[in-house]
Amino acid sequence: MPPCQGAIIDLGQIGNFPSVKASFVLPLICFLVIARFAAYCRLTRS
């Protein structure tokens, strides 16, 4: 994940956001994927 975040930072600017701020969307996406998987596992075990 750090190389991907670094590549996003190297872009300079994404839309109206500085790339440093935009790069923190990547960990958010990872967290959401893990949370969704945990919810799925919890529902299937019940």
With contact defined as beta carbons under 8 Å apart, do 18 and 11 qualify?
no
- At 33, the amino acid letter reads V
pLDDT in tens, 11-40: 999 889 899 999 999 999 999 999 999 999
∠ CA(26), CA(36), CA(32), 5° rounding?
A: 20
Q: pLDDT value at position 46?
A: 67
Annotated domain spans of the chain:
2-45
Rounded to an integer, what distance in angstroms lies between the CA atom of residue 33 and that of residue 36?
Answer: 5
Q: pLDDT value at position 20?
A: 93
Q: Which residues contact 15 (CB under 8 A, 6 or more apart)?
A: 22
Q: Could you tell me the pTM of the whole model?
A: 0.76
pLDDT bracket for residue 44 (50, 70, 90): very high
With contact defined as beta carbons under 8 Å apart, do 44 and 37 qualify?
no
pLDDT at residue 45 tops 90: no
